Amino acid sequence: MSEIRLSFDIKHNDFDRAGAASSNLKNSLKQLGYPPEDIRRVAIASYEAEMNVVVHASDGKMEAIITPEMVDIWVIDKGPGIENIELAMQEGYSTAPDKIRELGFGAGMGLPNIKKNSDFFEIESKVPDGTKVHFIIRRKTGK
């Protein structure tokens, strides 16, 4: 395996399909023989990032580059962007409406949980252009 690139579209408010991109990524890593613990970290981080787009943003995409050493993931949306990233990174801080909370999300744990499950994490956002979340999960166990 040298390098595999995967790209998925994410639709705002499409709760029926939400999670499909992360599920596909997870299954690809399984087929490539990635260790289960690393796959779990990728799945949790990518699902959180995917849900952020579904809940908060207009449409976006997820791009993943898989190498034998790491999984490098970019989740990019088309706005409206985050006004205060420092606040958004605080556990418990959320701007999600009640409708989203009724679906079990919007508890303000998403971005901190992506960071927790990643070996590298960065976020860039510009109002109203959009947000880029970039995170890397390195393969921890045998290749």
3-state secondary structure (DSSP) of residue 132: strand
Q: What is the C-alpha separation between 143 and 24, in angstroms, rounded?
A: 21
CB closer to other proteins, 76 vs 111: 111
Q: How far is the CB of 4 from other proteins (least distance, A)?
A: 20
DSSP-derived secondary structure letter, 59: S
CB atoms within 10 A of CB 53: 27
Q: How far is the CB of 80 from other proteins (least distance, A)?
A: 21
CB closer to other proteins, 37 vs 129: 37
Query: What residue ranges bind other proteins (CB under 8 A)?
Result: 15-16, 18-19, 22-23, 26, 36-37, 40, 43-44, 47-48, 51, 103-110, 113, 116
CB closer to other proteins, 33 vs 129: 33
CB closer to other proteins, 40 vs 78: 40
- In the block, tokens 């580059």 appear at 65
3-state secondary structure (DSSP) of residue 88: helix
Q: What is the C-alpha separation between 46 and 7, in angstroms, rounded?
A: 12
44, 89, 75, 45 alpha-carbon torsion, rounded to 10° = -10
Q: How far is the CB of 7 from other proteins (least distance, A)?
A: 20
Q: How far is the CB of 44 from other proteins (least distance, A)?
A: 5
Q: How far is the CB of 14 from other proteins (least distance, A)?
A: 11
Q: Which residue in 47, 26, 45 sits closest to 35, CA to CA?
A: 26
CB closer to other proteins, 99 vs 128: 99
